[in-house]
Structure 1
Amino acid sequence: MRKMNHPKLMLVLAVFWLTGGYALGQETDTTVRYNQYGARVNRTPLKAEERNGILVLESKDQKYKIWYDARVQVDGAMFFGDTYNPIGNGTSVRRARFAVKSQFTEKWYGEFDLDISNSELELKDAYLEFSPNERLSLRAGNYKEGFSFESTTTSRYLTFIERPNAVNTFAPSRHIGVGVMYHKDWLFGMGGIHFQTVGDPEERLFSEDNNKDYGTDEGVSFTGKLVAMPFHNDFNKGLHIGIAGSYRTPKTDAEIRGHERYSTRSLTSINRKKYMDTDLISNVDHIVLGGLEFAAYHKNFRFQGEYLMSNVHRKKWDEEMPTEKFDGWYAFGSVLLFGGKYNYNTNDAEFTQPTRGKSWGDVELAFRYDYLSLNSGMDQIMGGAGEGYTFGINYHVNNNVKIMLNYAYLNHDRYASGKNKLFVGYDENGALTKDPRKVVDANGKAGDDFSFVSVRFEVDF
């Protein structure tokens, strides 16, 4: 028998040691391991794979899986128009997210997500989920409430750079709570009881002070939605028909307890002016939110729209006050030009990453109209109204990279004065005024209108 020379023998042994025996088709490493606390630990070899641009580590029996989810969105915007209030062009890191996600067993899942955009640390998703079977899930922690189709869709798969004004204004985002999700065939349901937002340090300080100094409860919300999904087993087409509602008592993260405020930055994060703004609404007893959702898709065509409303019920001592009513809606259509198709996830009742039609990617065209009114039907609060027209071009390069270009035009009414801090037109003397009642214009123009071009470079990995 020919003897193996020493260099080859050393190479085989090195490969065997580095791979834990897998190089020779064996799993023979039974060395006992201990953690930093001195306790003996179980050992499970993990296999590394790249799945659509995401690194995943998974056990052979698929009962344990862990992966990292990072996302960076770099935005820029340039504004146009003869505005009453100057707007500066700018850039920002809109999102810089890092998340760790893990499937512990077949039934347990956990997620931890941070945003460090523009050097500001903010906790996003942080929750534990238990799934007794493939249809039912129970969740506890900090996560998005089940309200609004566009709000619950991850920012990774948004069609436009910013969500519509009505969604940004009314849809509650992440709050600490417990909830349940259920899906079966054509039906999806989600509901939960939610409490305080984790928020930024200022919001947390307001909450703690209100609790400590005044003994104020954090507030509670009951939120849920139901979605019907006809054609749920057809991968080429589908419908989404949903209804959502939320009953909410005032949260203590407000600057003043017992108050509510609705405001929005009009489809951009670069311009920090909030034209439509109710200011603080006092004596809030509870709030009722409602929403209707509709979407349809067929291969490379997609349509989506929502109507959202908020009724702010007010009460001073035992005396009922007028209910402030606000609402808004949006609708958009989009198309993939080069053979791609839209994909819908029936487990979560939302759209996921589209399939690209070419090896070099795909191009998506989209147009959206959205409207928001923060003028109460009782004429008690006139926070302004506005409409937006947005045209978008998205280049889906690969699983990891997307480039977005938006052109938007914003048309505000005379009451969109940013809590009476912004000019809304000219008075009878030809001077700029912030008072909507004093605006006089022969052409009937009132309210600040402008357009802008924005761009986003996004990488997900």
Structure 2
Amino acid sequence: MKLSRLSLAITAILGSSLSTAALAIDLYVDTYTEQLYAKPGPGRVHIGSFVREDKPKTADKTADNTTDKTETADNTGPIAAEKKETADLSAVRRDIELKSKMMGARLASDIASLEERVKETENVHVQFTDSAPHFASKDGNFTFAINGRMQVASQYNFINDVLPATGTNLPNEWNSGATLRRARLGAEGTFFKIWDYKFEYDFSRGNGSVASGITDAYARLNVTKPFSVKIGSFKEPFSLEEAASNRYLTFIERHMSVNSFVDNPNTYKTGIGVNYAVPRFQFGVAFQTEPIGAWSAASTSVNTAGNVSRNNGSGDSGWEGIGRITGRPWMEDETKFLHVGISAGHTAVNTQYNAAGQIATTPSAQGGGGGGMAFFAFPGTNVDRTNMLNTGNLSVGDKGAPGSRRIDSYDRFGAEGWLVHGPFAVQGEYLRTNINGLGYDNEHFTGYYGFASYFLTGESKAYHVKNGAANRIKPRQNFQWNGSGWGAWEVAAGYDYINLNSGVIRGGQADMVRFALNWYPHPNIKIQNNIVHILNVNTEGSTISRTAGFNKADLSSFLTQVQVEF
């Protein structure tokens, strides 16, 4: 019967472990497992008796030589038979020992290889941070995490009193409905400990077009823990509310001046930025340009056919230098502090003329376009974000013609304040945008807002040190169906004002109030409810029929948003 290598090894081990006094041992093999046993049992077959070979004793010279010689010579007799049996057993043992050594060496090699593979798998650690999978190498040189957010929004307009549309224009009123406000998915991580990166794509941005869907896409070198340099596409360092992720806003939508002066012209620009951040002080500057892509959500240039001014032969895109300084001059702890800051930036705007000296408003055969710049505002609604206020393109008229105007650049300034004292917080900003160019003389836009919030369940606003802005709220007790936890509950109320009327520009003026009831059942889930009410709208003198139709409108809406993010 053929024995396995393991059985042969056991045979060798059993043979070496027998006492020298033992003359023979009976061995049995299991017909199923092929293992050897020293005792009979079910399924075991006797394979023979084996005698241990001891060191041959010195021949007794006094013995009967005649008898020994006779038995040795003719290989007969009991002594010769015993020697032959011993020699055969020794040969079997040597074969078993040789095969056992070979099997042992191979087994040791297999175990070593297995241990090496186990060590390799141990080099990667997987854990969940903020409910997202986070991968990290054992030495900490490489990390990788997935991030994402989904915001489902609804809007119901219970007061919708506007002027009727004229001619072939669409109705001026707001529309009620629901939408997927944002749907983003991204990846971020580190490599070699001093570098980090982030890439994020918004599937709802620009109707899913590739160029407009990208938000963050950068690599950052952390020179020291507080000091870093990044390159790629990232947010402008400007404004307290803009610096905060839309995941952590108190109200569903940002305030009108922040949207109009920062977010609507696309705050995600491409360039290089420097940042320094410690718990009490933050500083950021950037040199950026307008990104290449569809105007719908990724450019500051405006024309009726979309952003064709970014295509071949249309000239350079506009560059900007921008910066923000913030700090917490008073700070007892992370639940009691005063944050203040200022922002400033200069942005060049590209306006192109065709060969006849006209601003092209439709794509040319060479792909050129007019460019220019417009500012507009919508009053905090999340489904129908119609431009209630609109300056129209600030580059108008033929080149050199009387009355023509051209925007060459604009300057932005901002001041911000934020006080947190336990569950109570107040926040406000003032922003101004100056228009520079042909036909403009000190035209400027202004806006400001202020609001107060209070956590009924005792939480405090959280602070993001690197951004110098709001961070994720973590409830003291997560919501439980049995009533042992209710999550975090927050109420807020505020005022919002913007003025896009200045000099020859008639973009409109508006102010409003808003109220919020927010529920945070878990750190990664937020349910928001807002009421917005327009106090006054003045669009008299606007040349844009839709904007003119909102003059003296009476509007109120109830907004909701359910957010899941990680």
Q: Please indicate the TM-score interval, normalised by the length of the shorter structure.
A: 0.7 to 0.9
CA–CA separation in structure 2 for the residues paired with 1:412 and 1:449: 8
What corresponds to 1:390 in structure 2? Answer: 514
Alignment of 1:39-438 (within 5 A): 45-84=123-162, 85-117=172-204, 120-121=208-209, 122-171=213-262, 173-200=267-294, 209=309, 212-214=312-314, 216-232=315-331, 234-251=333-350, 257=370, 259-282=372-395, 283-315=406-438, 321-360=440-479, 361-376=487-502, 378=503, 380-415=504-539, 419-422=543-546, 434=549
Q: Which deviations, in whole Å up to 9, do the C-alpha atoms of 1:295-345 show, x marking residues without a partner?
A: 0101211111100000001226xxxx3232110000111111112222212
TM-score, scaled relative to structure 1: 0.81
What corresponds to 2:51 in structure 1? Answer: none
CA–CA separation in structure 1 for the residues paired with 2:247 and 2:393: 32
Q: Which deviations, in whole Å up to 9, do the C-alpha atoms of 1:203-258 show, x marking residues without a partner?
A: 679666456334x2211100001112124572221111100000111047996646
- Check the 8 A contact 1:125/1:143 in 2, yes or no: yes
CA–CA separation in structure 2 for the residues paired with 1:184 and 1:273: 40
Label 1:397 to 1:370 Cα distance change in 2 as closer, same or farther (>3 A).
same
Please state if 1:451 is matched with 2:556.
yes
The DSSP-based 3-state class of the residue aligned with 2:412 is strand
The DSSP-based 3-state class of the residue aligned with 1:29 is helix
CA–CA separation in structure 2 for the residues paired with 1:185 and 1:164: 26
Q: Which amino acid aligns with 1:53?
A: S
Q: Which amino acid aligns with 1:159?
A: T
The DSSP-based 3-state class of the residue aligned with 1:171 is helix
- Check the 8 A contact 2:510/2:535 in 1, yes or no: yes
Q: Which deviations, in whole Å up to 9, do the C-alpha atoms of 1:175-211 show, x marking residues without a partner?
A: 0010100123522100010112244366679666456
State the identity as a percent: 26
What corresponds to 1:9 in structure 2? Answer: none
The DSSP-based 3-state class of the residue aligned with 2:522 is coil
CA–CA separation in structure 1 for the residues paired with 2:317 and 2:351: 5
Label 1:98 to 1:418 Cα distance change in 2 as closer, same or farther (>3 A).
farther
The DSSP-based 3-state class of the residue aligned with 1:81 is strand
Give the deviation of 1:171 after TM superposition: 1.3
Q: Which deviations, in whole Å up to 9, do the C-alpha atoms of 1:147-194 show, x marking residues without a partner?
A: 111111101111111000000000151000101001235221000101
- Check the 8 A contact 1:95/1:116 in 2, yes or no: yes
CA RMSD of aligned residues (A): 2.9
What corresponds to 1:21 in structure 2? Answer: none
Q: Which amino acid aligns with 1:219?
A: G
- Check the 8 A contact 1:263/1:274 in 2, yes or no: yes
> How many residues are aligned here?
405
Label 1:187 to 1:31 Cα distance change in 2 as closer, same or farther (>3 A).
closer
What corresponds to 1:427 in structure 2? Answer: none
Give the deviation of 1:141 after TM superposition: 0.4
The DSSP-based 3-state class of the residue aligned with 2:459 is coil
Q: Which amino acid aligns with 2:341?
A: G
Label 1:357 to 1:210 Cα distance change in 2 as closer, same or farther (>3 A).
closer
Give the deviation of 1:270 after TM superposition: 1.7
TM-score, scaled relative to structure 2: 0.66
- Check the 8 A contact 2:424/2:460 in 1, yes or no: yes
CA–CA separation in structure 2 for the residues paired with 1:454 and 1:223: 33
Larger mean Cα displacement after TM superposition, 60-69 or 329-338 = 60-69
- Check the 8 A contact 2:307/2:371 in 1, yes or no: no
Unaligned runs of 5+ residues in structure 2 are 1-9, 11-32, 34-110, 163-171, 300-304, 353-359, 362-368, 396-405, 480-486
Q: Which amino acid aligns with 1:393?
A: L
CA–CA separation in structure 2 for the residues paired with 1:210 and 1:395: 43
Unaligned runs of 5+ residues in structure 1 are 7-23, 33-41, 425-433, 437-445
Q: Which amino acid aligns with 1:69?
A: N
Q: Which amino acid aligns with 1:94?
A: R
Give the deviation of 1:355 after TM superposition: 2.8
CA–CA separation in structure 2 for the residues paired with 1:63 and 1:417: 61
CA–CA separation in structure 2 for the residues paired with 1:217 and 1:278: 24
What corresponds to 1:19 in structure 2? Answer: none
Greater fraction helix: 2
Label 1:312 to 1:296 Cα distance change in 2 as closer, same or farther (>3 A).
same
Q: Which has the larger radius of gyration?
A: 2
Q: Which amino acid aligns with 1:244?
A: S
